[in-house]
Structure 1
Amino acid sequence: MQNFPLYHIAHIDLSRTLKLPALDTDHQGNYIVFWWQNVALGHLFLETGENLSPADYLERVIKSIEPTICFYAKETGSPESKWQLWLRNQQFETWSDWIERSFSGLTSAAIPPTVPVSVIVCTHNRPRQLQQCLENLKLLSTLPEEIIVVDNAPSDEASLKVVRQYQDLLQIVYVKESRKGLDIARNTGIKNASTPVVAFVDDDVATHPLWLYQVWESFKDPLVAAMTGLVIASELKTEAQCIFEKHWSFNRGYTDKLYDQGFFNDTLRKGPPVWRIGAGANMAFRREVFEQTGCFHELLDAGAAGCSGDSEMWYRLLMHGYKIHYNPRAIVFHEHRKETEALKRQIFYYMRGHTAAALIQQHYYQKADYSRYLAKLFLKTYTRSIIKGFPGYSFKYSTLWAQISGALAGLAYYYKNRKKSTGELVK
């Protein structure tokens, strides 16, 4: 018998209906993502057995989308309105007209067919995921000038065969990288890119049709050196997927955020939380910034520290005074790991890389007090979790020992390799 919640994912376009959709609440939870056409507004978890009246449902909708609606209304200079009241009173046309005006300008009427961006997909022995990723890239409203598939230490030619299926449909380049490691593969992609902007998606994501258009929109601001985008779960069918989305989610919210020198300086005392900026599954950079900051740190890889090459790169960009834009309109859908043991391995390497990266970042700039952050992590956060999770350590706490052992392994890795891990990329 299942003792954990599974969720059906429903996507509701509020430009079409405000009604509560027909949901099975007896046998599963429901994860509802609200949209206004192509703009994601917020989400709502409904637990198994949770039945809502239409009025209660609208209140939950309002609560989940209110920050986003207010953000866009302010950005576009829309006059104040009683939109919450219109929703409660089912005044759909009044609500719809006001939102339409408030959201005008978020997407240009003339979407370019191509943009000078190289989309880099790093893959390792996952031809099924790669094929699905390329299928979605093929459907983009705006296509990149080139797609570079970096086949990382493959054991066979399965990924090459997948790429060949798309060579007549896409401007696609296949590059084999024999050295294993995600950041090694990322750097190989950068070296082979020929455009001013490089965008990265994981092979296990599906891109929204307007994803690349919105990536390009971020770089219209000449002060933006990098961007990240919204990552929404594509399914929540297993315990591992539910744990990840509820407690390790890549989703960074539905409103724009700008990370700059002010963010960097304001958070120095506790160690800048650069991991909040986004996810490596959906990010892009001006290619020229790598000439100033160096490429991805290859010692923060699987087989080495574990991961966090993306957040460590964002740290270096901020340290050099660059700006990073979180653009929630650049959307991908991520397939979380299905098996609990695979999730535990993932979390182990997350924390191993996270800890090593934090200490590397502190070495770059001593005022960034990650030692304080790590001390709090071990002495307060993990101690509380050990007490709260006792004795069963189920669901949220089922990955706790992977977290702790990963963080300890990250400390050991850093102190064993600190000379070579901190002296290669500082510029």
Structure 2
Amino acid sequence: MNVLEIQISVALVTRNRPESLNRCLKSLRSQSVQPFEVIVSDDSDLEYATATEAIAKQWDCQYIKGPKRGLYANRNHAAQACKGTHVRTMDDDHEFPEDHFQILEAVVKADPLSIWILGESHYDQIDSTTGIAYLPGEIQPRGFSQLPRNLDDTCAISDGATIYPRAIFSSHHYLELFKFGNLYLEFGARLKALGYRIRYCPKTYIIHHYIHDKRSFNDQKMQQQTAFLAALLTYGCYLPNFFKYVECLSYFSLIGLISTLKIKDYHFNIFDLWRLWIVGRKYQELFNKQNYAQII
């Protein structure tokens, strides 16, 4: 790919937060280098949609209506609308430090075939030295994410702050089985298994206006289910590891049994385990047959 052809499209997803979107786009449009295009895919309810569309157009963005099937369906929808060489995922509660897109353009030009991931800081906790407080993590057997050992060749994904070669989305998509949760961690493991290099960019970051009570997603059961599915597929299929696969099944079987017996509620029961194990087997079959476009 000719370095002069790099065009970074922003695939920004939003839902019911026009004020947050306005802050995000104001920060974006203050950048010294602008992206090739900004797609705003809106999953808002009717009462917020008109204001959201007006804000997107005020900041010279392309507004499209989202599919209203959840975060990952909206990410896929936004990415499919992009026309640049690369897709930069984005959320409406982000802001950006100085020269953010200038730095991104430079790293993508240096290695346009890799997937680039970013760290973040919360708006009230910005590190005075680097600005970066949180790095993207890799899925672990028990469903949580952990700092990668090798940030220059990892399976970590920054859900709303990753730059992909756009061609990836012609065959590969985020899983849409759940509306929210940890499925972005599955996407990173799948892409790494397919030979894509995922690299961390330490030179810039995003500023996240994280407010727990204003999240679109606070479903603990869905969080556990997506964590199990992501870990199951990672260590049972994409990056097979017998010991980590056994750890995954053992841990989720244990908390599933404890929840089913009502000893303690881990928001995950034996029936969830069985159902998602069957789903995982179906995805594994599609992956092994190289039917990648059907893994969605």
Q: TM-score range by the shorter chain?
A: 0.7 to 0.9
TM-score (norm 2): 0.73
Match of 1:414 among 258, 276, 285: 276
Unaligned runs of 5+ in 2: 126-132, 137-146, 256-263, 291-296
Instruction: Kindly provide the CA deviation profile for residues 46-91 of structure 1, in whole angstroms up to 9, marking residues without a partner as x.
Output: xxxxxxxxxxxxxxxxxxxxxxxxxxxxxxxxxxxxxxxxxxxxxx
Letter in 1 for 2:160: A
Distance 1:160 1:198, change over 3 A: farther
| Distance of 1:143 and 1:167 partners within structure 2 | 16
Distance 1:365 1:231, change over 3 A: closer
| Distance of 1:203 and 1:140 partners within structure 2 | 16
Partner residue in 1 for 2:106: 217
In the alignment, is residue 164 of structure 1 matched against residue 54 of structure 2? yes
Higher relative contact order (CA 8 A, sep 6+): 2
Deviation at 1:128, TM superposition (A): 2.0
| Distance of 2:279 and 2:150 partners within structure 1 | 37
Deviation at 1:140, TM superposition (A): 1.5
Deviation at 1:206, TM superposition (A): 1.2
Partner residue in 1 for 2:241: 368
Instruction: Kindly provide the CA deviation profile for residues 97-129 of structure 1, in whole angstroms up to 9, marking residues without a partner as x.
Output: xxxxxxxxxxxxxxx9x9611111111212222
Q: Does the residue aligned with 1:258 lie in a helix, a strand or coil?
A: coil
In the alignment, is residue 280 of structure 1 matched against residue 159 of structure 2? yes
Partner residue in 2 for 1:185: 74
Computing the radius of gyration from Cα coordinates, the structure with the larger value is 1
Partner residue in 2 for 1:52: none
Instruction: Kindly provide the CA deviation profile for residues 144-169 of structure 1, in whole angstroms up to 9, marking residues without a partner as x.
Output: 111001112x3215244334345354
Distance 1:365 1:201, change over 3 A: closer
Deviation at 1:185, TM superposition (A): 0.7
Distance 1:222 1:329, change over 3 A: closer
Match of 1:155 among 34, 40, 45: 45
| Distance of 2:9 and 2:269 partners within structure 1 | 34
Partner residue in 1 for 2:28: 137
Distance 1:418 1:312, change over 3 A: closer
Number of residue pairs aligned between Structure 1 and Structure 2: 259
Q: Does the residue aligned with 2:78 lie in a helix, a strand or coil?
A: helix
The 8 Å contact of residues 115 and 165 in structure 2, kept in 1 or not, is answered as yes
In the alignment, is residue 175 of structure 1 matched against residue 64 of structure 2? yes
Partner residue in 2 for 1:405: 267
Q: Any runs of at least 4 consecutive aligned residues in structure 1 with deviations exceeding 6 A, and if so which?
A: 341-344
Unaligned runs of 5+ in 1: 1-111, 237-248, 261-273, 383-400
Distance 1:159 1:423, change over 3 A: farther
Partner residue in 1 for 2:225: 352
| Distance of 1:167 and 1:343 partners within structure 2 | 23
Letter in 1 for 2:57: Q
Deviation at 1:173, TM superposition (A): 0.8
Task: Indicate the RMSD between aligned Cα atoms, in angstroms.
Answer: 3.5
Letter in 2 for 1:251: L
Distance 1:168 1:424, change over 3 A: same
Distance 1:211 1:352, change over 3 A: farther
Q: Does the residue aligned with 2:158 lie in a helix, a strand or coil?
A: coil
Partner residue in 1 for 2:151: 257
Partner residue in 1 for 2:94: 205
| Distance of 2:280 and 2:205 partners within structure 1 | 37
Deviation at 1:320, TM superposition (A): 1.3
Fraction of identical pairs, as percent:
19
Partner residue in 1 for 2:170: 291
Q: Does the residue aligned with 1:144 lie in a helix, a strand or coil?
A: coil
The 8 Å contact of residues 352 and 408 in structure 1, kept in 2 or not, is answered as no
The 8 Å contact of residues 355 and 407 in structure 1, kept in 2 or not, is answered as no
Match of 2:198 among 302, 324, 336: 324
| Distance of 1:201 and 1:235 partners within structure 2 | 20
Letter in 2 for 1:415: W
Deviation at 1:346, TM superposition (A): 5.1
| Distance of 1:422 and 1:212 partners within structure 2 | 37
Partner residue in 2 for 1:127: 18
Instruction: Kindly provide the CA deviation profile for residues 135-192 of structure 1, in whole angstroms up to 9, marking residues without a partner as x.
Output: 111111211111001112x32152443343453543x111112332111111111211
Instruction: Kindly provide the CA deviation profile for residues 303-337 of structure 1, in whole angstroms up to 9, marking residues without a partner as x.
Output: xxx42232212112211111111112231111223
The 8 Å contact of residues 256 and 327 in structure 1, kept in 2 or not, is answered as no
